[in-house]
């Protein structure tokens, strides 16, 4: 159920409505808009005294939300959610370009990458400190040292940091160093991790699971939002299909499908989505053309020497060239880089 407040209703009246909802043993979530505020009501709606609520002067309407993902639904919030992290805006007119290596290998490497991608126009730096690997014998990341190297790079470049968290016990530590917490594809339905990420205030970048449908993905976003953190960024990164020419199948159809169903911003990872360097630039352009709010790109100073995912990483020079090529594509759909 959602309660649409009239334009210009003062905060005191909104609080009174929320307090009244709590007395009905329901949980109110305030979704702020530029024109109207909406209160999403979570819980057993049989307790909701609808008619008395509609009589309150500050309330415009009380409506049912049919989707199971109440807070993430476009029914709950018609306006697109815009998320800001430092100087980067995700969901606005300017596209968010998050670039960097799959994993932090050492301080010099991540600093070199950060300075270079910033010079080319990147909005934020990505880099893994904790790495989920298919093989238990593969490099698992530098962990705490990696977080320190990322934080040091932020100080020197001013770029916001995006890094992955794998364990609910690490959320607090990662949140101290990162500007945006990434939940990877293998953890999309790690519900305890999602709940812990929702309890901290920084934005969460939620990648799509390897075989997740749209509703499953949005329900995972709902887990985060139900804890009070409404700053969720969805990231399409390819799904498993029968194709034999790419690492995954990058599902660009999901971008307009999500835009119909949710107000949350959506970005695309064409690096993991294709797994092949020569495919990254074409799919990055296609993602922007179909309405993505940004890109997550793997970039490495020396892809041939990368510890992880060198085959899908752009070199610093290739990233700089791609940024130039993205500008006219963005302009064609009314966006900027």
> Residue 24 belongs to a domain with what CATH number?
3.30.70.1140
* Whether residue 154 is found in the same domain as residue 287: yes
Mean pLDDT, residues 59-88: 91
What are the residue ranges of helices labelled H in 34-184? 50-54, 107-120, 144-157, 171-177
3-state helix, strand, coil in the chain (%, to 5): 40, 20, 40
Q: How far apart are the first and last CA of the chain?
A: 38
pTM of the predicted protein model: 0.92
Q: Cα separation of 99 and 115, whole Å?
A: 11
Whether 72 is in a domain gets the answer no
Whether the CA torsion 9, 14, 16, 17 is positive or negative: it is positive
Mean pLDDT, residues 125-149: 80
- Under 8 Å between Cβ of 281 and 307: no
Whether 70 is in a domain gets the answer no
Return the pLDDT at 137: 63
Number of domains in the chain: 2
Mean pLDDT, residues 150-161: 96
Q: Report whether pLDDT(130) > 90.
A: no
* Whether residue 30 is found in the same domain as residue 113: no
Token digits of residue 155:
């100080």
Q: Domain residues for 27?
A: 2-63
* Whether residue 296 is found in the same domain as residue 325: yes
């Amino acid at each position: 159920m959602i309660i649409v407040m009239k334009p210009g209703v003062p905060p005191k009246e909104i609080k009174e409505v929320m307090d009244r909802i709590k007395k009905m043993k329901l949980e109110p979530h305030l979704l702020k808009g530029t024109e109207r505020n909406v209160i999403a009501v979570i819980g057993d709606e049989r307790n909701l005294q609808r008619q008395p609520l509609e009589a309150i002067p500050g309330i415009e309407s009380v409506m049912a939300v049919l989707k199971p993902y109440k807070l993430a639904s476009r029914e709950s919030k018609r306006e697109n959610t815009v998320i800001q992290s430092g100087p980067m805006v995700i969901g606005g007119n300017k596209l968010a370009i998050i670039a960097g290596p799959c994993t932090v290998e050492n301080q010099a490497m991540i600093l070199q990458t950060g300075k270079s991608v910033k010079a080319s126009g990147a909005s934020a730096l990505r880099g893994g400190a904790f790495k989920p690997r298919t093989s238990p014998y593969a490099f698992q990341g530098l962990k705490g040292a990696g977080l320190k190297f990322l934080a040091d790079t932020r100080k020197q470049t001013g770029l916001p940091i995006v890094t992955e968290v794998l364990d609910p016990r690490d959320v607090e530590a990662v949140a101290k160093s990162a500007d945006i917490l990434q939940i990877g594809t293998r953890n999309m339905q790690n519900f305890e991790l999602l709940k812990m990420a929702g309890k901290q205030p920084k934005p969460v970048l939620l990648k799509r699971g390897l075989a997740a449908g749209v509703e499953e993905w949005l329900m995972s976003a709902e887990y985060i939002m139900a804890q009070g953190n409404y700053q969720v960024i969805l990231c399409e990164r390819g799904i498993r299909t029968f194709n034999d020419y790419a690492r995954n199948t990058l599902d660009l159809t999901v971008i307009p499908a999500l835009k119909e169903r949710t107000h949350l911003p959506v970005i695309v990872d064409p690096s993991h989505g294709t797994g092949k360097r020569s495919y990254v630039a074409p799919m990055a352009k296609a993602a922007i053309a179909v309405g993505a709010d940004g890109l997550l790109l793997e970039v490495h100073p020396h892809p041939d020497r990368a510890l992880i995912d060198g085959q899908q990483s752009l070199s610093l020079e290739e990233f700089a060239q791609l940024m130039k090529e993205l500008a006219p594509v963005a302009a064609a759909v009314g966006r900027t880089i």
